[in-house]
Chain A
Amino acid sequence: MTKPNLAVDLNGLKLQNPVTTASGTFGFGPEYRNYVDLNRLGGVMVKGTTLNPKLGNPTPRIAETPAGMLNAIGLQNPGVDHFLARILPLIKDYNFKTIVNISGNTVEDYAKLANKLNVEGVDALEINISCPNVKKGGLAFGTQPEMAASVVEAVRAETDMSLITKLSPNVADITSIARAVEEAGTDVISLINTLLGMKIDIHNQEPILANKMGGLSGPAIKPVAVRMVYQVAQAVEVPLIGMGGISNADDAIEFLLAGASAISVGTANFVNPEVTMEILDGIEEYLVEKGYEDINEIVGKAIK
């Protein structure tokens, strides 16, 4: 029996397999080298990168919730210059695609980041549009189709690199945002980012997170994510990277069937540091068992 094809082509961004790691959950990659054969990953979305170094939020930054967790790290990162000088050289020779997740407070921030990251060794940019737009009263870019599109257009103008736009689920109609960023020139859409949530300590009678609110992730959000992938897959032509609570191969396959061409593993890396390898093996087993020769045959198969 020949091995099924696992390679996927995301509108020009070629991954050796569909398994990637979600930004903020896998560091820059090497953090997991004791646990994972990094060369077997399809892609790594590195820690959210900003123009200047960011200290992030005070602690507590994390709170466990039923089948999930809240985080409010606040984009702590060493800044794009440090990334280019010190981190990129350590990761660019791995087989995985290096995908840099970028965040800004203005459209210009995103454009400057794209310009600086337009270098050999960076394979794609993932645009995080869940950040607050300081010029629009802190409303997140990703909540309005026009604001989301303006970020993508500004980045597109700076680079020919593959662009992935990461959608926020905290919106009224995710398909309208998806169509807007497609129109603005994104090559790929990834979804979903975390759902905004809160946990209160009933003894102290105050929110547990120092930032009060945080992003909910983990198995608890998976049905929401699958639904959104299923909807967006039917609203746009560009390929999707599905994520949100994927903890095992079965979960990953659900996203592929819902219309994602690739998947990202996030919070599950904390629970089981080897989970990406188990998911990769599990997807292959599923394809063999069901008699498929190519992973692309099952993408969107649940859409009737």
Chain B
Amino acid sequence: MSKRVIAKVISQEEISPRHFKMVIDAPEVAKEAKIGQFIHLKWVAKLNEHDPLLRRPISLNEIDQEAGTITIIYRAIGRGTQLLATLKAGDQVDLMGPIGMGFSIPEDTNKFVVVGGGMGIAPLYPVVKKLVELNKEVTVLIGAENKGQLLNLADYEEMDVELKASTVDGSYGYQGFVTEFLDDTLIDADYIYTCGPEVMMEVVQNWVIANDIKGEASLEERMGCGTGACLSCVCKIKVRNESGWDYKKTCIQGPVFPLNEVIFDD
């Protein structure tokens, strides 16, 4: 059950220009959190309480139930995230969470492929960790602008996974887009998880459909309430009705949806 808590920042560091990693002391949230869920976050205002106004939905990059902490990685690009980036150890954040339907891991499935692009790499790390714990075969495909933005790269390098990375500027791995790895006939998968820019996920979706496998995608939308009330964050999902689709709430019905059922056209 999600709740609202005022929690303390344990640490915050800029891991790459404009990319921040924040560890938050939130035992109640860590205890309940599942892979693929997110928190809806606001700085505790000292001044200018009303501006920027809204919370920011940010995926969980690590859930440490023993330590009672959660970790987020985000890019400080707008006014809200830039304010979050000014927080230091000991400062407080106001968070709602954990929210959403996370990733599921199907039983009797062995070969998993994870495809992450840019900030979309962040929510995938807990999935990979879980799969490794379960002794699954995991191929991790990640792509970003440059080496610094290949989130969790050092973690993946130390894990028992097949790792392929790409960068647009060629500063690490293959120079190009992560989706180009999918053309590699050596990539063999029973199930796929993806998160990243819509254009990337659409390529992954086409590949999944062409190869007749299933998977899940974690989506991002502009969000208001985070409770399912305001209907701001809806996304188009295929359903069996006259029009063939319906709007689903990314916050509480997602952010993870079956990859084959997502309609990428907005």
Contact = CB atoms under 8 A, between A and B. Distances in A.
| A, B: real partners | yes
Interface of A: 24-27, 31-32, 34-35, 47, 55-56, 58-64, 66-69, 71, 73, 76, 210, 218-220, 247, 267, 269-274
B39 interface: no
**Quick one: which of B53, B223, B228 has the most chain A CB within 10 A?**
B53
A270 B55 contact: yes
15 contacts: A27-B227, A35-B3, A58-B266, A59-B233, A60-B222, A62-B222, A62-B224, A64-B54, A73-B231, A76-B234, A219-B53, A270-B54, A271-B53, A272-B4, A273-B96
B75 to A, nearest CB: 16
Contacts of B30: none
B53 A218 contact: yes
Consensus secondary structure, chain A interface: loop
Contact of A69 (B54, B96, B246, B266): B54
B229 A31 contact: yes
A27 B229 contact: yes
A32 B225 CA distance: 10
Given A25-B225, A76-B247, A271-B42, A64 B52 contact: yes
A267 B232 contact: no
A58 B24 CA distance: 35
A241 to B, nearest CB: 19
Contacts of A24: 230-231
Nearest to B48: A67
Contact of B227 (A35, A56, A62): A35
Given A64-B52, A247-B50, A31 B247 contact: no
B154 interface: no
A133 B223 CA distance: 30
A61 B222 contact: yes
A273 B225 CA distance: 8
Interface in B78-112: 80, 94, 96
A67 B51 contact: yes
Interface in B28-74: 42, 49-55
Contact of A67 (B42, B53, B222, B229): B53
B234 A56 contact: yes
B238 to A, nearest CB: 14
Nearest to B229: A27
B231 A61 contact: yes
Interface string B208-242: 00000000000001111111111111110000000
A99 B4 CA distance: 27
Contacts of A25: 225, 229-230
Contacts of B227: 27, 31-32, 34-35, 273
B53 A274 contact: no
Nearest to A29: B229
B134 interface: no
Given A56-B247, A210-B266, 12 more contacts: A31-B229, A55-B247, A61-B222, A62-B233, A64-B53, A64-B80, A69-B54, A219-B51, A267-B53, A271-B42, A271-B53, A274-B4
Nearest to B3: A34
Interface string B1-30: 111100000000000000000000000000
B234 A61 contact: yes
A73 B232 contact: yes
A43 B41 CA distance: 28
A273 B41 CA distance: 12
Given A31-B228, A34-B3, A272-B4, A59 B53 contact: no
A271 B55 CA distance: 6
